[in-house]
Amino acid sequence: MFARDVAPGVHRIAHADVNVYLVEDDDGVTVVDSGFPATFAHVERGLQNIGRRTDDVRAVVLTHAHFDHVGSARRMRRRWQVPIRAHRDERFLAAHPYRYKHERNRLIYPVRYPACIPVMARMVVAGALGVRGVDEVTLFDGGECLDVPGDPLVLHTPGHTFGHCALYLPDRDTVIAGDAIVTLDPYTAARGPQIVSGAATADSAAALASLSAIADTGATHLLPGHGEPWHGGAAAAVELALRAGPS
């Protein structure tokens, strides 16, 4: 699914319950996250939908390097000759996207939360079991503005992964939250603002603590890595996520 202008100059590609965002300005396009292997074709069509070509893409920026966010990054790097950018603490995970720390056994979730099974099935069809990592990653530290279209300010929001980052676009009143806060948890199928369950989160306490950086932006538009965009204010979304707690 493609949705134009989910925030000013930011477009959403939703595929297999994972969101990829296209951030455009006069200098070109930044692709935020890359979904699964099969997401690649959807991103190319999304670029066409906004009248852009693949050679307008200046960079792919990863909020984090789990397999469902890095799935097309290797192909984008090779086909488009663009840098893949990520926090330095994501370097290993970008190359090995299945080797991530998590708090709880993933196998119990389909039994406890059977509503997640269709979500998982869509992910498998999209290539979730065959993701190849990317070794060539341009690293950043967090706290800086990236010199890519949209000039996002990097907010280091560890917890889901150790190098997880959100991207704040102050001139667009928007924060791209990645999986720091989502409106659909793929492992429980629960909807509404929340952190991702312990099946895929390294440290839930740290993830909840990191939400303050997102709330402090005061952004109206919050664009999550999974689920529908939230336009009721980042602070309100964070309050609901804190109330929901870990799962």
Is the CB of residue 109 less than 8 Å from the CB of residue 102? no
Residue 197: predicted pLDDT? 97
Nearest to 73 by CA among 30, 28, 98, 40: 40
Q: Is the pLDDT of residue 132 over 90?
A: yes
Long-range contacts of residues 116-119, Cβ cutoff 8 Å, at least 24 apart: 116/186, 116/187, 116/188, 116/189, 118/189, 119/17, 119/184, 119/186, 119/189
Q: What is the mean pLDDT of residues 60-78?
A: 98
Residues 6+ apart with CB under 8 A from 171: 151
Per-residue model confidence (pLDDT) at position 36: 98
Reported as a pLDDT band with limits 50, 70 and 90, residue 107 is confident
Residue 135, pLDDT > 90, answer yes
What average pLDDT is seen over the chain? Answer: 97
CA 74, CA 81: separation in Å to the nearest integer? 10
Alpha helical stretches, state H, 96-203? 109-112, 117-125
pLDDT over 90, % of the chain: 98
The answer to whether the beta carbons of residues 179 and 66 sit under 8 Å apart is yes
pLDDT of residue 33: 98
pTM recorded for the entire structure: 0.97
Identify the pLDDT of residue 106: 86
Over residues 237-247, mean pLDDT: 97
Which amino acid is located at 204 in the chain?
Answer: S
User: What residues form DSSP beta bridges with 87?
Assistant: 140
Determine what percent of the chain is predicted with pLDDT higher than 70. Answer: 100
Could you tell me the sign of the dihedral formed by the alpha carbons of 106, 109, 111, 116, in that order? negative
CATH architecture for segment(s) 2-97+108-130+138-244:
4-Layer Sandwich (3.60)
Q: Is the pLDDT of residue 99 over 90?
A: yes
Q: Which residue has the tokens 């603490």?
A: 89
pLDDT for 153-200, tens place per residue?
999 999 999 999 999 999 999 999 999 999 999 999 999 999 999 999
Label residue 215 by pLDDT band (50, 70, 90).
Answer: very high
